Amino acid sequence: MPTRQPNPADGSADDAWWNDVLRQALEDIGAAQQRYPDLFPQGISKVELQFEAKPNLHVKMLVEGPQGSQAATTTGLEPDDQAQHFESILQPASLLTSASPAEGKSTNQAKLKAAKTLEGAAKLFEPACKGEVSSYANNCAHYLSDALIDAGFSDLSSAHACVTHRCGTPDCTSGGKRPTRAKDMRCWFLEKDGSPVSSVQRGTGFYAVYQERQSDGQGHVVILDSGTWKFYGTGWYEAGQAAPNDWKHEYFQW
């Protein structure tokens, strides 16, 4: 966090404060690249700053790579603000083909069984965290982890070696502290099923799916009901397409 505070009376900041903000943001980029070296394998082509004045002054940095991938890191002014550190990679529109599952609707969820299972999580999935809509750029892991926790997978709600970031203010006000990163969820999936497969047959049950775009390493998580060929999550990205939409899949089942 920046070491200097804005003027408490009017929220203004001097040049030295802005220098602190920019230096911290650049340090955030460096830390994120070290932790996730596949985020921008072809380098960074654009950096954009956005300023939000209310309720507290915040500086949001959008970073874009040559393939159009984006990540955001927020540097706030209060010591307890949580920096996003690149977990919010902008989610693109779904990439669907004739082979893709359809999005599951509430009418489909009503037919699912409540239990501590992937089916139970699919039944509870909603595009929200504890009923609150988040302002993160990408909420695939955020909302899916919320459904999994609500279904009974309580280990995700406590300290876990796989989880490197949880939701918090100002982007999520639910207080849920849910995991927000797709790669973290993949780590957790691997603990449940250490032998994922790259494709599945219809009618073989429910799967937790990790999808990754090979051109820039962007990850996505979703639940698949192979029986009805429906997905539950914030989107679906069909595998086997040409770059830059070269997604691959890993299917986990337990």
Query: Do 225 and 123 sit in the same domain of this protein?
Result: yes
Q: For residue 105, what are the contacts with CB-CB under 8 A and spacing of at least 6?
A: none
Query: Do 184 and 247 sit in the same domain of this protein?
Result: yes
Q: How confident is the model at residue 180 (pLDDT cuts 50, 70, 90)?
A: very high
Q: How confident is the model at residue 63 (pLDDT cuts 50, 70, 90)?
A: low
- pLDDT given at position 78: 33
Query: Do 115 and 203 sit in the same domain of this protein?
Result: yes
Query: Do 59 and 109 sit in the same domain of this protein?
Result: no
- Residue 126 counted as domain residue: yes
- Residue 7 counted as domain residue: no
Query: Do 166 and 69 sit in the same domain of this protein?
Result: no
| Nearest by Cα to 232 from 104, 80, 99 | 104
Residue for token pair 């639910």:
174
41 — phi, psi (to 5°)?
-65, -20
3-class secondary structure per residue, 211-236: EEECCCCCEEEEEEECCCCEEECCCC
Residue 52 has pLDDT above 80, yes or no: no
Residue 88 has pLDDT above 60, yes or no: no
Residue 79 has pLDDT above 70, yes or no: no
Q: How far apart are CA 235 and CA 248, in angstroms?
A: 14
pTM, full prediction: 0.69
* Mean pLDDT comparison of 19-33, 50-64, 85-99, 214-228, highest-scoring range: 214-228
Query: Do 141 and 34 sit in the same domain of this protein?
Result: no
- Residue 96 counted as domain residue: no
72 — phi, psi (to 5°)?
-130, 140
Q: How many domains does the chain contain in total?
A: 2
More confident residue, 195 or 72: 195
Query: Do 67 and 153 sit in the same domain of this protein?
Result: no
Query: Do 154 and 33 sit in the same domain of this protein?
Result: no
- Report helix, strand or coil for 157: coil
- Residue 5 counted as domain residue: no
- Residue 167 counted as domain residue: yes
Pick from 55-59, 96-100, 186-190: least confident: 55-59
Query: Do 181 and 246 sit in the same domain of this protein?
Result: yes
Q: Model confidence over 22-43: pLDDT tens digits? A: 776 777 666 666 655 555 666 6
Residue 73 has pLDDT above 50, yes or no: no
Sign of CA dihedral 237, 194, 204, 206: negative
| Nearest by Cα to 233 from 94, 39, 88, 87 | 94
Using an 8 Å Cβ cutoff, are 77 and 5 in contact?
yes
Query: Do 54 and 141 sit in the same domain of this protein?
Result: no
- Residue 137 counted as domain residue: yes
Query: Do 55 and 117 sit in the same domain of this protein?
Result: no
**End residue of a domain, out of 75, 93, 114:** 75
Using an 8 Å Cβ cutoff, are 248 and 214 in contact?
yes
- Residue 2 counted as domain residue: no
User: Domain limits at 52?
Assistant: 15-75
- Residue 187 counted as domain residue: yes
Query: Do 247 and 123 sit in the same domain of this protein?
Result: yes
